[in-house]
Amino acid sequence: MSDSNSTASAKPMIDIVDLHKTFGEHRVLTGINLTVPAGSTCVILGGSGSGKTVLMKHMIGLLKPDSGQVIIDGEDIVPVGVEELQRVRRKFGMVFQAAALFDSMTVYENVAFPLREHTRLPEEQIREKVRAKLDLMGLKREAEQKFPADLSGGMRKRVGLARAIVLDPKVVLYDEPTTGLDPITTDYVDEMILAAQRELGVTSVVISHDIASAFNVADQIAFLSKGVIVEHGPPEQLRASEHPAVKVFLQTWFGKN
């Protein structure tokens, strides 16, 4: 975990203002306010169905809110059109829950894919960028020609992150990155999140229900319950929270540890 004091004064990379979203008669987000300083790691905690993924989809412009603002790097993306959204999305990297690698591509080809899709770089520069990101994730040269089916769960996560950061995004979004992983692999994933922040200075937003992982990586934790953020601050603040929903959620972990 990086020094939260140093990130507290940083300008906001993400600023969510009074965000509301309803699907039919189901009110999912009912007034979200959240600021994520540039270069920090924010973990959004909450139970299943609390709206965590819906909130993340608003951050990257996959959903439009009923009302409110989604300000990314100083720009409200809610009113912008499709072409402008594509430009904004270039600021993001995304690490999916199951890594979402292309099964028919090697590790090298998976990581190179965004560069070939979105740039006109010569192959030599693509190779340099791919290998730099694989090195950052601790993946050795022999891994380059392996296919996803040949990789462990932890290695697939590393490849997924290498692909997410190969275009040097300002923000990396992680969707439940430790779900289904054993404790040792979870520790590896936590370290790769910290390495991306430390080495690249990216702003990280992690959607999770993994309390132990959240406390390992977060500068700040936002707890989402019934469509609003009921607690937001450093991990220590969350642990001391008197909010009933937070206390019930945390006691499942701290009551056993």
Eight-state DSSP code of residue 234: -
pLDDT per position as a tens digit, 68-90: 999 999 999 999 998 889 889 88
Q: Measured between alpha carbons, how far apart are the two ends of the chain, in Å?
A: 20
Residue 189 and residue 235 in one domain: yes
Cβ atoms of 42 and 219 within 8 Å: the answer is yes
**Are 78 and 136 in the same domain?**
no
* 3-class SS of residue 49: coil
Same domain, 123 and 75: no
Q: Which letter does DSSP use for residue 11 in this model?
A: P
- Residue 17, in any domain of the structure: yes
Q: How many domains does the chain have?
A: 2
Helices 153-165 & 123-136 angle (0-180, nearest 10): 130
Residues 77, 82, 88, 92, CA torsion sign? positive
Which range of residues forms the domain containing residue 173? 4-91+169-254
**Is residue 176 situated within a structural domain?**
yes
Q: What is the DSSP letter of 224?
A: E
pLDDT digits (tens, 9 = 90+) for 110-132: 999 999 988 899 999 999 999 99
Whether 41 maps to a domain, the answer reads yes
Q: What is the pTM of this model?
A: 0.86
Of all residues in the chain, what percent carry a pLDDT higher than 90?
54
Domain end (from 161, 181, 197):
161
Least confident of 5-14, 36-45, 60-69: 5-14
Specify whether 173 is located in the same domain as 250. Answer: yes
In a domain, 98, yes or no: no
Backbone angles phi, psi at 228, to 5 degrees: -135, 160
**143 & 52 share domain:** no
Instruction: Judge whether 96 lies within some domain.
Output: no
